[in-house]
Structure 1
């Protein structure tokens, strides 16, 4: 591959992801709090009483990672719709799913869960590459807690990663690298 600056990078495969930009211009200048999306609490309520936001456009408080997050995926939007709808009907349910993105590229499966450096650049990370078997694992930590992960190829760790993110337990630094499958 040759970059626009003329650098040559040898590689076997290149994957390109196209992000999503939320159209929140309609709400700018209104009392609704807007950042990159419509800001909500863990119940998907905006800063205005009885006004909710859900799906791609919601910048929701994610209790599993302890900060606001935004996830443009089908599963996230469906889950948001269920929670926001229940809350509009008088229930008091908070959103507690770990956001996840899944895709495939050629013969590789790709899973991204929770927070990544795209959301929070200062995350600590631990990675393992098994090039012979086309597997890559990377875990992201904030204040000693597992908050996200990326798996390419073998995705068996997915359930364990999600459970650890939801548990919000601190993992001692000496044990963080051991979480990666050998």
Structure 2
């Protein structure tokens, strides 16, 4: 009887383990989350200022349970580069400025920030810190860089050093990606 009880307990634990393993979140595939619109009262997650008061592309980090909005692409990237944010499941979005007015970016044209082309050094007005113009198309980014003397960058070329130097030096539009 005692042996039968041990066998039953072992069998119960084995079945329970299989059920738990089958429900493991690692096996779950989440659908990508879509960007949301910006509204007049939205505040920047970093500085708390009203997002709509600044020209230029905005940024947002969207997860299944929350949305964090930023008054600029640079603010969003700076937030994303913080180590505690690297392991979170956020989709990052910025405005495609080839399809938007600089002073009123169109939320219908939000694009994946990791795939975007960034132009620094344009001299364009924007929120505090670095002003980064964002584009879905490399040729559009190059055209703005040629007109303004800026330079084209990719998402993974922008780091905290660049953003910090650009924020301290209000001549941020003249810094290269390596800070010179």
TM-score of the superposed pair, with normalisation by structure 2:
0.29
| Structure ranking higher in helix proportion | 2
TM-score for the superposition, normalised by structure 1? 0.29
- Higher relative strand content: 1
Determine which structure has greater relative contact order: mean sequence separation of CA pairs < 8 Å that are 6+ residues apart, divided by chain length.
Answer: 2
